[in-house]
Structure 1
Amino acid sequence: MHRRRRTALVLSAAIAAAAPLLTACGSDAHPGAAAVVGSERITVAQLENRVNDVRTAQRAASGDDAQYQRLVAQTGTLTRNTLNGMVLEKVLDRALEDAGVTATRKEVQQYRSDLEHEAGGSEALEAAWLQQYNVAPEHLEESLRSDVEVQKLATALGADMNSPEGGTVFWKAMADASEKLGVDLNPRYGSWGVAQDGRLGLADSKTPWVREVTKATQQQPA
């Protein structure tokens, strides 16, 4: 895989055995909220709409109902993974602000153009992101922007995301940003915290950012 893509996919790691970083508030404290990040609410309706977008795209891409049902079964944690990504996007925004860096529209468009060239066109890229990362076509631009922002943040931090040390630096900055914001998670979706390997997120969740980085670091010789 293209090195730039491997470096950018920083937030899709599986987060297992996470210890709570911040105490989640009950849904009674924030009615209708799946999570509250700083002063911003992620409503249950927003979360469900994002999940429904993925399901609609999966159904359209399926050859028949049986294939669609298999996809649904294979992505049973979609709601939790989607919420994980939505919270991490807001934490990433704060980490970028703290580091004083931004990603321009031109940079995102260039990144998308490069990926479309590698994939064989816009539709092929959309299909790949849906299949690999459960990102609906209408949210592809947001996902790609996050990739570019992760890369910009890593550069600002001097963190090589293809090394364990770089990953530690990156996730420390994300954890710091999360603590400054405060993350109140609706308990029905689980707990928010830092895993034993230092990565941040909803326990046992995955989002479309880090898979390749995780794989690369695991393959490095001791």
Structure 2
Amino acid sequence: MPRLPTDGIPHPWDLTMHWLDEPLPISPLLQPAIQQHMDLAAGDWRITLYWVVKKKWNHKLKIPVNRKYAMLLKPRGELFFRALELCIAGYNSSHPDSKDYHNASDWYLQLMQETRNLDNQEIQANEASGKKPFVQDLYQIIKTLKNQKNPATPSTSLHFYRLMEVALSLEKQDQFNNDYWKPFLSALSGWIQAIDSPDCHECYVDGDRIVCQMGRGKGKMTLLRLPSKNIF
């Protein structure tokens, strides 16, 4: 898959998107199937970034995968785009929590790297618990935000915590609420609905295979099996 095109993106956002598109180093300590699962997730991550660039800077940008795959990741692309917009508005507000960053793109870089690290920690934990608990946790996040409380903590997700602190302090301002906060909550809800749909499956490593749970009573489907090594 081609690298994310950053031509035409204004500085310093071009560097931010370039850094976010950088492949993660391969860890020799990981189980090969876990590493392969992370590599597959990296492909999803890059396509999500394509959606961000398309929505923010280049509406004519073509997503370099088949349409069905691209559309599966569109809701997450919308969420990442709305988070970017929140970073810009939050940084421009001069809220005390925004002063920890050089600019809005620095905030977004830290936020997305934090997100990617948390995603990869879940892959490495490889705990198959089903979609339902995860989806319920996500809906609880929306409920907490609508109650004007921060669902995050500095110890678990510092940059998201700061972003929510700033957003919640601004959400009573009509322009911020209509232009940034409501679209962010709508994108978050849309992403959760996409995860909860039958087209989205929980995937995890089972021995030398990456498998997807197809739904209650439908069993598992092998997404990828690693070739066995011949020993001579």
TM-score w.r.t. structure 1 length? 0.30
Q: Give the greater-gyration-radius structure (CA).
A: 2
TM-score w.r.t. structure 2 length? 0.29
Higher relative contact order (Cα pairs below 8 Å, separated by 6+ residues)? 1
